[in-house]
């Protein structure tokens, strides 16, 4: 099986598991900043959002693991997604071998 096809399959299989933690991290981080800066909430009122954002609720032993997996998952999706996009663009703009010029 071609490497590109295998990477695409792994990318598709991992995407749902990477998407949920990334969405939770992004939404909780943005919500925290918006509520603090524009909503007028104090740090104590919205600290729970930062606890969710930093995975503090998992405890000191799992928190670093979740942060590491979140980062690795994001890098994996970016690299494999960019690779698939590059392959598609190269395929689209590649000239046919037997093409005629007009």
The string of DSSP codes covering 30-97 is HHHHHHHHTS---TTTSHHHHHHHTTGGG-TTTHHHHHHHHHHHHHHHHHHHHHHHHHHHHHHHSPPT
pLDDT tens for each residue of the chain, 102 residues long = 688 788 889 999 999 999 999 999 999 999 999 999 999 999 999 999 999 999 998 999 999 999 999 999 999 999 999 999 998 899 888 866 655 554
Is residue 100, in this structure, part of any structural domain at all?
Answer: no
Is residue 95, in this structure, part of any structural domain at all?
Answer: no
24: Cα within 13 Å, side-chain hemisphere? 16
Is residue 66, in this structure, part of any structural domain at all?
Answer: yes
The residue segments making up the domain with residue 72 are 3-88
Provide the whole-model pTM: 0.74
Is residue 97, in this structure, part of any structural domain at all?
Answer: no
Query: Is residue 66 within 8 Å of residue 52, measured between CB atoms?
Result: no
Give the Å distances, CA to CA, from 25 to 10, 13, 46, 63, 100.
23, 21, 15, 13, 52
Count of the separate structural domains present in the chain: 1
Is residue 94, in this structure, part of any structural domain at all?
Answer: no
What distance in Å separates the CA atoms of residue 59 and residue 53, rounded to the nearest whole number? 13
What pLDDT is stored for residue 26 in this prediction? 95
């Amino acid at each position: 099986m071609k490497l590109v096809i295998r990477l695409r399959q792994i990318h598709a299989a991992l995407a749902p598991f990477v998407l949920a933690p990334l969405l939770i991290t992004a939404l909780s981080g943005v919500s925290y900043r918006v509520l603090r800066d524009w909503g007028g909430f104090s740090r104590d009122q919205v600290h729970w959002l930062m606890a969710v954002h930093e995975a503090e609720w998992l405890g000191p032993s799992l928190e670093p693991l979740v942060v590491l997996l979140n980062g690795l998952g994001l890098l994996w999706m970016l690299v494999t997604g960019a690779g698939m996009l590059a392959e598609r663009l190269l395929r689209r703009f590649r000239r046919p071998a037997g093409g005629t010029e007009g």
